[in-house]
Amino acid sequence: MTDELISVLSTVPIPEPWLERLRNISPRYQFSVLPASKPEEIPAETWQNTDVLFTFKTLPQIDTAPKIKWVQIYRSSMEHVLENPFLKSASIQNAGIQNEAVQFTTVSGANAPQVGEFILTGMLTLSHQIPEIITYHGKREWDVKRWRQFKTGELRGSTVGVIGYGSIGREVARLLQPFDVKILASKLDVMHPEDTGYTIEGKGDREGNLFHRLYPPQAIRYMLKDCDFVVVTVPLTGKTINLFSKEVFESLKAGSFLVSISDQRVIPFDTLSSAIQDKHLRGAVLDVFEDAPPAQDHALWKLPNVILTPRLAWRSPLDFDQAMMMFSENLRRYLEGMDLLNLYDPERGY
């Protein structure tokens, strides 16, 4: 095995205790931490000598980082860098040459526990009509019709549809086990239900045996007609944009609830708003894309059974530590020539 040094650049701040842990993986790794949001904020010489990059979205300009072999993205998806010229150039230039390609990986799975809790909270909040109850709390009064108005539901015994059975969908399935629910799941590759990505010990559904039935994406309309709750966790790709068309909403079971942590372009605001106003959908929680909330006069803001949050599902005091644990595992794999976890596939789009 070669003793050649490996230059690792992080454009994300890394506290010294974590840097020390990363250095202990191997003396071959040489770390540089230069927080930056734009590639020009990094010295040209640093880009030229970088072998491994850890970043949120700061990628080098084309042909300025000839040594880079691996980019670890500090996020669970690639949605925010899909249009970056460096990513596009690396994907096109190395198409079909797997061993020479610049490898891109995400921290998918590292934040699954907190996102799973967010989704479960959303499901319970909607089914127990907490938003409406809070409204009455603000009025400091009880409505005499409250017994008829507040017909809360239960997770227990319900059917939950999980669209996107990745690390987050699997953690949702695990959390739902005590509620005795029937889980229907949708996955791109139904022939391989197991999870080959990064999983925190004891979390998720690595073997793929917590669902009752698995559907391909083409069959989600058939799946949704039986679901009391719908959880959407698919990444944004060319195939998932506008996934929830008018026809898909019409296939939902009347009175069902929806919780989505997918990019807003997966579920168009206007179509969702119509489904709720028509009372086909009883309520929704959307952890929408942070840079583009609905317009201030959009109907979604006015609907009491809709909760909009600005990409908060993944936030947790443990978020950074969990991401660094996943990065550490990939650093070990890279050093030993093993397959990296959470590899980005240009053809799939995630």
Q: Are 197 and 171 in contact (CB under 8 A)?
A: no
Report the side by side order of strands in the sheet with 256-260.
213-215, 182-186, 159-163, 229-232, 256-260, 281-287, 306-309
pLDDT at 185: 97
Reported for 274-278, long-range contacts at CB under 8 A and 24+ positions apart, including other chains, are: 274/246, 274/249, 275/249, 276/303, 276/305, 276/306, 277/303
Tens-digit pLDDT profile for the chain (350 aa)? 468 999 999 999 999 999 999 999 999 999 999 999 999 999 999 999 999 999 999 999 999 999 999 999 999 989 889 889 999 887 654 444 343 579 999 999 999 999 999 999 999 999 988 877 777 766 777 766 665 666 677 899 999 999 999 999 999 999 999 999 999 999 999 999 999 999 999 999 999 999 999 999 999 999 999 999 999 999 988 899 999 999 999 999 999 999 999 988 899 888 999 999 888 899 999 998 766 778 888 888 888 889 999 988 988 899 999 999 999 999 999 999 999 999 999 888 88
The closest alpha carbon to 109, from 151, 166, 164, belongs to 166
Residue 280 per-residue DSSP state = S
Q: How far apart are CA 183 and CA 212, in angstroms?
A: 5
Q: Are 284 and 260 in contact (CB under 8 A)?
A: yes
Looking at the whole model, is its pTM more than 0.85? yes
Which domains does the chain show, CATH number per domain?
A: 6-109+318-336 (3.40.50.720), 112-309 (3.40.50.720)
Cβ neighbours for 149, distance < 8 A, ≥ 6 positions apart: 132, 143
Q: Are 119 and 98 in contact (CB under 8 A)?
A: no
Cβ neighbours for 335, distance < 8 A, ≥ 6 positions apart: 6, 25, 26, 28, 29
Residue 38 per-residue DSSP state = S
pLDDT at 96: 41
Neighbours of 180 (CB within 10 A): 10
pLDDT at 100: 57
